[in-house]
A = this chain, B = another copy of it.
Amino acid sequence: MRSEELNWFDVENYLQQDERLMLVLGACEQHAYLSLTTDVRIPLALADAAAGKTGVLVAPTVNFGASPYFLAYPGTLSLRISTLLDLVEDLVRSAYGQGFRRILVLNGHGGNDPVRLRLYELTSALPGLRLAWYAWWTSHSVTEVARRYELKPAHANWLEAFPFTLVCELPAGEKQPPFIPGLLGAAEARLAYGDGSFGGPYLAPADVMEAVFAAALKDVIELLEFKE
């Protein structure tokens, strides 16, 4: 249940019986041959699936993240890290003010990781608020699936090539992971990463992708229990 399909009366009713919210943080950045909003689509797909099983509300997506290193790839629209932190703070405070008390942040993009620090600041400032963070590709469940299939997960390789992130056909074969010396600026990063993938196979068989998704979904559903 996405809040965009609701009006405020619906959310008021929802809050009578539930105080949970899912907040999707994405990015609009190069993902090699995949959609520029791959990092929105994956956590949103997880949120939708989890909402289907739990009834937990899904807020509108944050379509932009912090991607300074990919700004030389056309189509990448990046927030300064300071902007992103303020943005997430505003959303959390808005929801808190209306009675949401357990918020699961579903992050789709590594560059958004600093948001965690702001969330720590907020959870101390807002009594009774519980926050959880899930970055699906770093979870033990997902990396375990990758290990099982002997596939190395990386930005814009098979790991993110879900049916719903494809916007064209993918190259066959594998890419040699590039050597990355230190923290590259945008221009250097484009030279180093070429097509944008961090290397490895561009594609994995459908059953692998389903296993990855299922593993992450299981995590999300469990996190939504907000165990103490």
Chain A interface (Cβ within 8 Å of chain B)?
Answer: 3-12, 14-15, 28, 30-37, 40-41, 59-64, 66, 68-69, 71-83, 85-87, 89-91, 94-95, 97-99, 111, 113-114, 116-121, 123-124, 129-133, 167-168, 181-188, 196, 223, 226-228
Q: Which B residues are CB-close (under 8 A) to A11?
A: 36, 74-75
Known contacts A35-B5, A94-B71, A113-B114; decide if A124 and B185 are in contact (CB<8 Å): yes
**Shortest distance from the beta carbon of A102 to any chain B beta carbon, whole Å:** 9
**Shortest distance from the beta carbon of A223 to any chain B beta carbon, whole Å:** 8
**Chain A at the B interface: SS class:** mixed
**Are the C-beta atoms of B183 and A120 separated by less than 8 Å?**
yes
**Shortest distance from the beta carbon of A178 to any chain B beta carbon, whole Å:** 12
Residue of B whose beta carbon sits closest to that of A125: B185
Chain copies in the assembly? 6
Q: Which B residues are CB-close (under 8 A) to A121?
A: 68, 80-81
Known contacts A12-B74, A87-B87; decide if A5 and B196 are in contact (CB<8 Å): no
